[in-house]
Chain A
Amino acid sequence: MRNTFKKGGIHPEAHKEASRGIELLKLPRKAVVPLSQHIGAPARPVVSKGDKVRRGMLIAENSAFVSAGLHAPISGTVAGIVPVALPWGKSTQAIVIEADEEEHQADTELRQEYWANMIPGESDRLLSERLSPEEIRRKVSEAGVVGLGGATFPSHVKLDVKSEARPEILIINGCECEPYLMCDDALMCAYPGRIVEGVELMMKAAGIGKAVIAVEDNKPEAAASLSAALDSAHDISVRVLKTKYPQGGEKQLVEAVTGRRIGSGKLPASVGAVVHNIATAFAVWQAVATGQPLIERVVTITGDINPQERKNYIAAIGTPFNEMPFTLPASPKIVVGGPMMGRAAVRLDAPVMKGTSGLTILDAGVKPEVRACVRCGACVDACPMGLEPYLISTYGRLRMWDDASAAGVSDCLECGACSYSCPSYRPILDYIRVAKQRCKR
């Protein structure tokens, strides 16, 4: 009997149609690296206009404990620290690096060598035994690793657990419950041994004795490849969960794996768990074992595009979307991330960032007509937090902030299951977001 979370949830069509292999995406000649790609304080630049940088070199440092450094994704010259537009149009400061032909060639060769030498399978325990928790955390911090599932919370902060609050279990989120996206699936299939080593490093860094890698049952290849990389000596197990969205939600995942429910406004640590994304585990391994900071990540390009173009790429941070190989459909909507929680991009010159798990390119067509709420209760059934989306949405629309707050709007994880399931196509979540923002203040 496969577990999943109990309350609510939906089963959208998976559309996991990208090929499972990973290809190297060409390095850009010009990389745009926004200073704020993570939760917390923006990084502080340590380079200035005209400086020469090498690929992997620190270009902006942690400006606070909750912050993450940035590294040059390509070698070249700093063209400036200028305001650039994020995918959703907001302007932010970014370091722009431009490479000449020679630097571009050299980077490309080094990068090919790096990935060609990566051993996919068997894991090596020695790595985590050699290093102290502090050393691991320092390396993770220096490499600018953040949560790659989309939240982009600096990983070294999450790994730095106070001894009195030591969790019993590390849960590695390999659910990838978002439809369309396959970056985690591809990574689990390609480098299971490295992921396992990354998980061991995380266990050591946080002082946790047990880890569970959670994978949904629609990714049997990933579960099998991870299981094959584990032996009985590991305190790590692979747990296959019944596919349901939003399984990757922190509270849902902890419940699915441990059966424990995290209270309103509490963190997984309150029930003795800590959750990290599977891609983060890989990035931790890269940082500690190979010394490569977080300058590239796996990005899925998929959606209503040419089927041959649906692929997983290792893309350098800072690569503009318009340098990626895809053809736009007739009425394009470019979603950064998956279709349930991803944000639509308004510009094609925006860069890949640390939290960019993929581009879901949808043929949006004509928006269906919004009809009256028929009180069918589909949103109530779908809500994984046991809220009443129709009600909170109405409170939001009518600016009844106190009522929205009393109805538990702060518990909403904005998974979109309510709007997804509404047969009248009502923008339920839009108004809930408004109310949530208001109640936060």
Chain B
Amino acid sequence: MSELLKFSPSPHIHTSRTTPGAMAHVLIALVPAVFCALYFFGLPALWVMLVSVSTCVGTEWLITKYMLRRPLSINDYSAVLTGVLLALNLPSNLPLWMVAVGAVVAIGIAKMAFGGLGCNIFNPALVGRVFLFISFSAAMSIWPLPDAGFGDADGATGATILSLVKMGQSTAEFTPQDMILGNMGGSMGEVSAVAILIGLVYLLVTKVVSWHIPGAILLGLAFIDIMAGYPVGIDIISGGFLLGAVFMATDYVTSPMTKRGMLFYGFMIGVITASIRRWGIYPEGMSFAILIMNGATPLINRYMRPSRFSPKQRKEVAV
């Protein structure tokens, strides 16, 4: 035999989709939100972003190289994505050392301690954010007011709409237009609804995420809001709802495998978020809701399996 033939079991062809490709698509989808963050919050936002991303990537690199001694995994962009998402969840005036602490917790504890990409139970960026929120509640509750036009921050701070609502104060100073475009106080990435929705459209068109999780979250939120008599529209565009529903809850690793499971998971996130916002002590509940349902995901995978190919359709579990 002269030629050396390649050999492998079937199938011999493969989709062009790759895991790093999916991560890259999400990063591209985040470009409008990142742009808005820089536009509204200026240079400090850039610093937060850079510190967050570099600490995330650096932490993963150190852990894979010196602790796990595994092949480097930072080339799959997942650490970059965690860094960007964490930054978008923080106020732009957060001291940079706190940002770094959050990033180390996100990658070191929430991701690598569980075994790296694919093994983590909780969304790393959200764990980082909640860690910071609980540890440094004061710093994490002062939201700089936007100063449109890439300027240096003037140091003005204010409450978010949700905290005003929680304190029973008027939100009349915000016009709906401001709220949709992002001209209000809040974390770097959550303020502009339009930017996030552009990202959502991109993710849906490229089929990186399906509509099930964001759609079900919306449904769950609307369900509680209607019961509580709160305007659904305001709830959607305020706080971290959109950022969470589009970019955090749809994380492959920590969300269910089946469409049915995704619907249940999403619906419960919506219900928990709205419940915390309406009746809890915190003004915002998105992070907690997603983390709670991340924890429930293995159970959802266990009990909401795909229906097998069989003559009698198994009864669908009600969502």
A-side residues, CB < 8 A to B, are 7, 10, 12-13, 179, 251, 260-264, 271, 328, 331-335, 339-349, 360, 362, 364, 367-368, 371-378, 380-381, 383-388, 390, 408, 411, 414, 416, 419-425, 427, 429-430, 433
Q: Quick check: is B309 within 8 A (CB to CB) of the other chain? A: yes
19 A-B residue pairs with CB within 8 Å: A7-B307, A12-B15, A251-B309, A261-B309, A333-B12, A340-B10, A344-B7, A347-B1, A364-B6, A368-B18, A372-B117, A373-B118, A376-B22, A408-B308, A421-B17, A423-B15, A423-B22, A424-B118, A429-B10
Main secondary structure of the interface of B (DSSP, over half): loop
Residues in A neighbouring B3, C-beta threshold 8 A: 328, 332, 348
- How many angstroms from the CA of A350 to the CA of B5 in the assembled complex? 13
- How many angstroms from the CA of A73 to the CA of B22 in the assembled complex? 52
Chain B minimum-CB-distance residue to A337: B10
Residues in B neighbouring A414, C-beta threshold 8 A: 10
Q: B13 touching A375 by the CB < 8 A rule?
A: no
Q: B6 touching A331 by the CB < 8 A rule?
A: yes
Residues in A neighbouring B306, C-beta threshold 8 A: 380, 383, 386-388
Interface set, chain B 70-106, CB cutoff 8 A to A? 73, 76
Q: A362 touching B308 by the CB < 8 A rule?
A: no
- How many angstroms from the CA of A9 to the CA of B257 in the assembled complex? 16
Q: B309 touching A386 by the CB < 8 A rule?
A: yes
Q: B14 touching A332 by the CB < 8 A rule?
A: no
Residues in B neighbouring A251, C-beta threshold 8 A: 309
The answer to whether residues A12 and B13 also contact, given A348-B5, A349-B1 and a CB cut-off of 8 A, is: yes
The answer to whether residues A333 and B10 also contact, given A7-B309, A263-B311, A383-B306 and a CB cut-off of 8 A, is: no
- How many angstroms from the CA of A328 to the CA of B117 in the assembled complex? 39
Residues in B neighbouring A271, C-beta threshold 8 A: 311
Interface size counted on chain B using CB atoms at 8 A: 40
Residues in B neighbouring A368, C-beta threshold 8 A: 14, 18
Q: A425 touching B14 by the CB < 8 A rule?
A: yes
CB of B100 to closest CB in A, whole Å? 26
Residues in B neighbouring A385, C-beta threshold 8 A: 308-309
> Please, what's the 1-or-0 string for B8-49, where 1 marks a CB less than 8 Å from any CB in chain A?
111111110111111000000000000000000000000000
Q: A340 touching B13 by the CB < 8 A rule?
A: yes
Q: Quick check: is B108 within 8 A (CB to CB) of the other chain? A: no
Q: Quick check: is B252 within 8 A (CB to CB) of the other chain? A: yes
Besides the known contacts A367-B8, A371-B73, 20 further A-B residue pairs in the complex with CB atoms under 8 A apart: A179-B13, A261-B309, A263-B310, A264-B308, A264-B309, A331-B6, A339-B11, A340-B10, A348-B5, A368-B14, A372-B117, A375-B252, A376-B22, A381-B259, A384-B309, A386-B307, A388-B305, A390-B257, A423-B22, A425-B14
CB of B26 to closest CB in A, whole Å? 12
Residues in B neighbouring A345, C-beta threshold 8 A: 5
The answer to whether residues A375 and B258 also contact, given A368-B18, A416-B11 and a CB cut-off of 8 A, is: no
- How many angstroms from the CA of A429 to the CA of B76 in the assembled complex? 23
- How many angstroms from the CA of A344 to the CA of B5 in the assembled complex? 9
Our pick among B6, B12, B19, B305 for the contact of A374 (Cβ within 8 Å) is B19
Our pick among B8, B14, B18, B309 for the contact of A411 (Cβ within 8 Å) is B309
Q: A-B pairs with the 5 shortest C-beta distances? A: A416-B11, A372-B118, A333-B6, A364-B6, A377-B257
- How many angstroms from the CA of A342 to the CA of B11 in the assembled complex? 7
CB of A322 to closest CB in B, whole Å? 9
Q: B258 touching A380 by the CB < 8 A rule?
A: yes
- How many angstroms from the CA of A388 to the CA of B73 in the assembled complex? 26
Q: Quick check: is B116 within 8 A (CB to CB) of the other chain? A: yes
Residues in A neighbouring B305, C-beta threshold 8 A: 388
The answer to whether residues A339 and B252 also contact, given A260-B311, A372-B118, A386-B309 and a CB cut-off of 8 A, is: no
Residues in B neighbouring A328, C-beta threshold 8 A: 3
The answer to whether residues A348 and B1 also contact, given A341-B11, A375-B253, A377-B252 and a CB cut-off of 8 A, is: yes
